[in-house]
Amino acid sequence: METAIAEEPKDSRLEPQDCDPVAPSAPAQVPDAPTVGAVIEELLRHPSRLLIERWNWKAAVLSSLLRAGIFFFTNLVAGWHAAVGALFAELALRAATSGFYGAITEAFSEARPVWSAMAAALVVLPLANHSLEFLVHWLRGTPKLGLSMTASVMFTALSTSFNLYVMRHGVLTVGARSKSLREDLALLLPLLGQFLLAGPRAILRFVRGGLGAR
Dihedral angle, C-alpha 112, 116, 117, 121, nearest 10 °: -170
Exposed/middle/buried for residue 194 (C-beta within 10 Å: 0-12, 13-18, 19+): middle
Please compute the mean of the pLDDT values over residues 1-25 and round it to a whole number: 44
Closest CA to 142 of 93, 175, 205: 93
How many residues are there in the chain? 214
pLDDT above 80: residue 2: no
- Domain ranges in the chain are 32-178
Say what percent of the chain tops pLDDT 90: 62
Please compute the mean of the pLDDT values over residues 3-30 and round it to a whole number: 47
pLDDT (0 to 100) of residue 193: 92
Lowest mean pLDDT across 16-20, 31-35, 93-97, 184-188: 16-20
Indicate the SS3 state at residue 73: helix
Residues 69-113 have pLDDT tens digits of: 999 999 999 999 999 999 999 999 999 999 999 999 999 999 999
Residues 42-56 have pLDDT tens digits of: 989 999 888 898 999
Please compute the mean of the pLDDT values over residues 175-191 and round it to a whole number: 92
Closest CA to 4 of 183, 167, 196: 196
Asked if 148 and 3 touch (Cβ cutoff 8 Å), the reply is: no
Please compute the mean of the pLDDT values over residues 127-132 and round it to a whole number: 87
Whole-prediction pTM value? 0.76
Closest CA to 159 of 113, 206, 118: 118
- Specify the long-range contacts of residues 86-95, CB closer than 8 Å, at least 24 apart: 86/137, 86/142, 86/143, 86/144, 86/148, 89/136, 89/137, 89/140, 89/142, 90/64, 90/133, 90/137, 91/64, 91/65, 93/132, 93/133, 93/136, 94/60, 94/63, 94/64, 94/67, 94/68, 95/60, 95/64
Closest CA to 170 of 12, 11, 41, 3: 12
Q: pLDDT category, 124, cuts 50, 70, 90?
A: confident
